[in-house]
Structure 1
């Protein structure tokens, strides 16, 4: 997802390459500041349901997570040309085994981010994590107010550096700020805010 050139030409299937440094920064801050032990022993099975990747670029989250020692990182994508293990898979139409994945982490298309989050929360066990990279302004809008009153948001990790989603133009950043939103199924405490 990218907000640059909104209303003009967008990438097919809303595919944008998530920069690895952005994920690295999040993982470092999350491991240091969160209430959760984010490691392979606590969360052994991870899913990225919109994993991306293409002929030119590797999948972002699976690549970085595997580098950090997570060995079971499943990858799905709706695109047939993705590098995901399961391609042509519409996440919102799946009915996989509940409680199999401990963490679902992704950069979903903005227009279905709420549906992605709700579906992911149905899939993880109690205490499981759902982590979504979204524009910071996802917090706004009257339409999404009920969502924020009901979903178990545990933390928001705001990236102080704006990312770019075009690897061919690494110095071109997006037009808005981004954050990793961390949801925890069954979480009842107030959410925490961190700036990376």
Structure 2
């Protein structure tokens, strides 16, 4: 018997261990990226999907970059860890200079502030990071926001389940997430809310096939009965 499990998962998903040399890997559910594009990137940030470049520099296994490619003509992806998707490079070690029109990413939690500074230096038009709402606090974030006031913060009304090292299509969470967005030269505007119902509306039938692979479930294998002598 086989089952469809997230890329990199073992047969028993609860035993999944992230590689020791990788960084915080919490794949973004594909529907959550589509909701960001539909309600924030296109109508509010003003991204021009057919002629501007988008970069995800913490792409993992492509859970965000692939949904971005559904709406934007030019999307590049990279990660410091070789997850098997995108280029392998250290975003924080990149030379100064513009690399894309927009940078959208789900950064490692403990490096998110550094990712923001780097993104603002390398994105021509703007950047947005997907973070836990708790990330908004602390003196370090206060100093960041004083230097670079966000254009807008977009909060998900419904919960966005993220699990370390894997995407669980039916997962749940008690953690809240939001997008912190910057648009070069634009005056800050009030926060907004990404409406409920996006998980049901924007989950595609082929998402599991695209981001999962068959895995044997040995505990459920049926042993053949011995033949009569």
If the length of structure 2 is used for normalisation, what is the TM-score? 0.69
Structure 1 residues 73 and 121: CA distance shift in structure 2, 3 A: same
If the length of structure 1 is used for normalisation, what is the TM-score? 0.80
5+ residue gaps, structure 1, are: 1-8, 54-58
Of residues 60, 65, 90, the one that matches 1:62 is 65
Distance 1:62 1:31 in 2: 14
Q: Retained in 2: the 8 A contact 1:152–1:184?
A: no
SS in 2 for 1:14: coil
SS in 2 for 1:144: helix
Distance 2:18 2:174 in 1: 16
Please name the residue that 1:75 is paired with: 77
Shift of 1:178: 0.2
Q: Quick one: higher RCO (CA 8 Å, sep 6+), 1 or 2?
A: 2
Greater gyration radius: 2
5+ residue gaps, structure 2, are: 1-15, 195-229
1:37-74: CA deviations, max 9, x gaps? 22224x61111101110xxxxx1222111111x22111
Structure 1 residues 60 and 195: CA distance shift in structure 2, 3 A: same
Alignment RMSD, CA only? Answer: 2.1
SS in 2 for 1:15: coil
Runs of 4+ displaced beyond 4 Å: none
Distance 2:33 2:83 in 1: 23
The alignment status of 1:138 with 2:135, answered yes or no, reads yes
Question: What is the number of equivalent residue pairs in this alignment?
Answer: 174
